[in-house]
Structure 1
Amino acid sequence: MTAPAQLLIDGKLTSASDGASYAILNPATGLEIGRAPDATAEDVDAAIAAARRAFDESDWSTDVALRLRCLRQLHEALLAEKVAFEALTTAEVGMPGFMMGAAGFDVPVEGLKWVTDLLETYEFETDLGVAAPMGIKSRRTVRREPVGVVAAITPWNVPTQINLAKVGPALAAGCTVVLKPAPDTPWVAAELGRLVAEHTDIPAGVFNVVTPRSHEVAAVLSTDPRIDMVSFTGSTATGRAIMAAAAPTLKKVFLELGGKSAAIALDDADVASVAGATAFTACIHAGQGCAITTRLIVPREKYDEAVQVAAATMESIGAKDPADPGAICGPVISQVQRDRVEAYLRLAVEEGGSFATGGHVIDQPGFWIEPTVVAGLDNTSRLAQEEIFGPVLVVIPHDGDDDAVRIANDSPYGLSGSVDSGSLEHALAVAARIRTGTLSVNGGVWFSPDAPFGGYKQSGIGREMGVAGFEEYLETKTIAVPA
């Protein structure tokens, strides 16, 4: 039903230059469902060369009408392939079907349309008027121009959302792109390449997809002087390495990194409601989301109630086959990730915590972890400080607003979070003190194509989505002429 995964290099769908490939596994079963081209260093070099040539020698960077037509074609192609694309995402990523109405498919595809509509009205030039700096009357214009060749490096957890959140704005801005997805989820990226090649007028070389398994082969995307910008989403450790690798050539770097977001229930909140909602959130896609709230901070006198409600909620959700229409929590992506989460569960006990529910690997084919609530730890524990990327929620007591704010901000991360109170004014006052890039207050939803997303501190640099996300892919040029 879905075409085999292929590279897209300079307008051509192709296998790896040496014919090598690697298995794509279904994380729900651990079984092979397809193979991806194991792109060589020569393949990556060819993709970079094609993107450089397309930016320097074609009209893509200057022809807004062409970009509008091509992006609308891509949007239509994605909508036409919706059912197959969603089925592939569930099989390759292990993402439950209910997420397709949000980050799995609908929101990223809506985001592509949103940034295309923005392109239609965006003012690339601003007239600053006449001034006389140093006595010379001059008319000044500020012009926004595409940054150039973009290396988009994306993770495995919500690949279509993150692929399109980079590729859409970059192409709309007039950049050319080399997309390098995670080796765990190369197929959905390859499908995006196929749609571009077969259903759009995007010129050869403007958009390229390479799927090397080797980090060493992919590393050239951060160092090659032909690349003008690296746009990366993934772990903070890898983001640091990319930033360091890009430094010698002073590339522009966009980083959307890890999170350890806090859900705060204030003293006047409905703690049971907050605990249930936060436990539900921590189960979504087996907790494999950078913005998921994985620390629940509740009033000390209501701590036991919060733990009990969170545990009961997780037990009612369970871990199910992502193809099951009722699934909320599916498998984690791989054996490596399952082992990593299991190591944190052992650490929870070593640090003095206990499991209100869960705490174990599920012994069945595929890569499964029980939804888990950890009690008895404070915010200094590694489970409260480090990103686990599994269905694991740590419940922490607080002693009033100041203490709740202190705990929430006592983190190397600052990506997301929530604040709940019986009073909106009270919740907003506390939210203003939380150092994080996105916040839900009393159940508000911030995730939308027009809303900038990104983090403070070690959660990243820059913003994705919204006008701010589009402008990440633009340079600013000031021009003065005699008045």
Structure 2
Amino acid sequence: MTDTGLPQDLPTGVLINGEWSGAADGRTVAVINPATGDELTSIADAAPADARAALDAAAAAGPGWASTPPRQRAEILRRAFDEVTRRKDEFARLMTLEMGKPLAEAYGEVTYGSEFLRWFSEEAVRIGGRYGLNPEGTGRIVVSQRPVGPAYLITPWNFPLAMATRKIAPALAAGCPVIIKPAANTPLTTLLFAQLLSEVGVPAGVVNVIASSRAAEVTEPLLSDPRLRKLSFTGSTPVGRTLLAQAAQNVLRTSMELGGNAPFLIFADADLDAAVDGAMTAKFRNIGQACTAANRFIVHASVADEFVARVTARVEKMTVGSGLTEGVTIGPLIDAKAVDSTDAMVADALDHGARLTTGGERIAGPGYFYEPTVLRDVQPGSRLLREEIFGPVLGVTTFETDDEAVAAANDTEYGLVSYAYTTDLARAHRLIERLETGMMGLNTGLVSNAAAPFGGVKASGLGREGGQEGIAEYLESKYTLIPAT
């Protein structure tokens, strides 16, 4: 390690066709430690020319990778899983340095993120098809699967390893070469991971990395090139809508994991101990900076006072500071803009009549910190009920009837994930049917798993990542008819 805590051999360039280099126009961009506001290092700030070169490399490498036996692709991914696991200390510390999450949570992300490598190493050898007589008896139907082709992967800053593995692993398993653009705030983990992939045997050109602060400039030449056949994006809904419009020009296959506004429902019969534990996980994991973070706590009026009292007591015991410091449970937000946004949303809720039970203040620097906060009686019209918070703020509203709770939960353009606590099995089944989300946590505050399909409905996106569904996003079906003889 250097005195910054970064790995000494950490790459800082663009990766194109197996070679690391500076940006085509020589530009660089600083990577900031959000716990201190200091520069960790600077990296190559990829230019449009780098994007075109990356697509050249992916297009050239694609046929060879697609024809690589599935078992060989699987073994490479399994080696990547083993190597990430072996180097868990290095990856966890790097994520905490560039993103800010507490080190214990960074270790959790290493475990979660590496599982996509193991899962899709197993799925690579299970790509199937079907064969059978057609209904008329006049021929045989053969359905085969083949990779869609070069894929452009755009990842966010909040889960630097897991978002890379969740997209790269299924693409490689399916036989697709990729160009990945990590967020400029947190590119270092992806750069280290890409280096690892080369070390475990991924051929040159199959994985190309173009970290850039000029997202629109490097994306346009890729989406306008007919050789690109797949776009996978995780980020905000407004940006997703723009990308979908651009992708339509070449009729690209798209996967969109967009914004969320997750409701967390607590019914009168809920196990309140479990609900409080689940609330702390669903709200404060990753400092609240997750699309799956619980956004709106919709609590039955009969248990609201006790729930608020319990979560307030738990929140007041949380420790804020650098994620590298032992015992810290709330790290910094990603940047000063995030602190401003969180503070503005709390102020708006208070202006609308919410009551503050703890927190509610920005913390003086260095670094970008905000107090973990609990608000009760959040009123209709408050931004907290309409927008993603992406900060450590827990806001509570109340309900009287099941219909009222479901209506409040569904009263949003988003539909990524919902959480519900109840011991009534019949009610639980009704909620599964009625809540308009792509995922649901029933009596749990954590739903993500590499073996399960991750994704939303409505303005939260389309397509799924993880599970058997995840590899299908990178495959297309081909039907062949063989006439009967």
TM-score range, shorter chain: over 0.9
Q: Choose which of 67, 77, 85 in structure 1 pairs with 2:73.
A: 67
Q: TM-score, normalised by structure 1?
A: 0.94
**Quick one: structure 1 residues 123 and 168, their matched pair in 2 at CA, closer, same or farther if it must change by over 3 Å?**
closer
Aligned equivalent of 2:435: 434
Q: SS of the counterpart of 2:179?
A: strand
Q: Structure 2 unaligned segments of length 5 or more: list them.
A: 2-6
What does 1:28-427 correspond to in 2, within 5 Å? 28-56=35-63, 58-102=64-108, 104-120=109-125, 122-132=126-136, 137-197=138-198, 199-220=199-220, 221-271=222-272, 273-275=274-276, 277-427=278-428
Partners of 1:130 and 1:29 in 2: CA distance: 66
CA contact 1:266–1:400 (8 Å) conserved in 2: no
Q: SS of the counterpart of 2:245?
A: helix
Partners of 2:130 and 2:325 in 1: CA distance: 52
Q: SS of the counterpart of 2:464?
A: coil
Letter in 2 for 1:218: V
Identity of aligned residues (%): 36
User: How much does 1:465 deviate?
Assistant: 0.2
Partners of 1:164 and 1:78 in 2: CA distance: 11
CA contact 2:35–2:368 (8 Å) conserved in 1: yes
Partners of 2:228 and 2:68 in 1: CA distance: 19
CA contact 1:155–1:182 (8 Å) conserved in 2: yes
Partners of 2:479 and 2:379 in 1: CA distance: 52
**Quick one: structure 1 residues 223 and 318, their matched pair in 2 at CA, closer, same or farther if it must change by over 3 Å?**
farther
Q: TM-score, normalised by structure 2?
A: 0.94
Q: SS of the counterpart of 1:19?
A: coil
**Quick one: structure 1 residues 188 and 59, their matched pair in 2 at CA, closer, same or farther if it must change by over 3 Å?**
closer
Residue 6 in structure 1 maps to residue 10 in structure 2: no
Q: SS of the counterpart of 1:167?
A: helix
Partners of 1:474 and 1:330 in 2: CA distance: 39
Root-mean-square deviation (Å): 1.8
CA contact 1:154–1:234 (8 Å) conserved in 2: yes
User: How much does 1:282 deviate?
Assistant: 1.4
Partners of 2:281 and 2:66 in 1: CA distance: 45
Cα-to-partner distance string for 1:91-127 (whole Å, 9 max, x where unaligned): 011121222343x11111122111101212x143211
Partners of 1:344 and 1:15 in 2: CA distance: 40
CA contact 2:298–2:399 (8 Å) conserved in 1: yes
Partners of 2:377 and 2:370 in 1: CA distance: 21
Q: SS of the counterpart of 2:298?
A: strand
Partners of 1:358 and 1:318 in 2: CA distance: 12
User: How much does 1:172 deviate?
Assistant: 0.3
Q: SS of the counterpart of 1:414?
A: coil
**Quick one: structure 1 residues 39 and 215, their matched pair in 2 at CA, closer, same or farther if it must change by over 3 Å?**
same
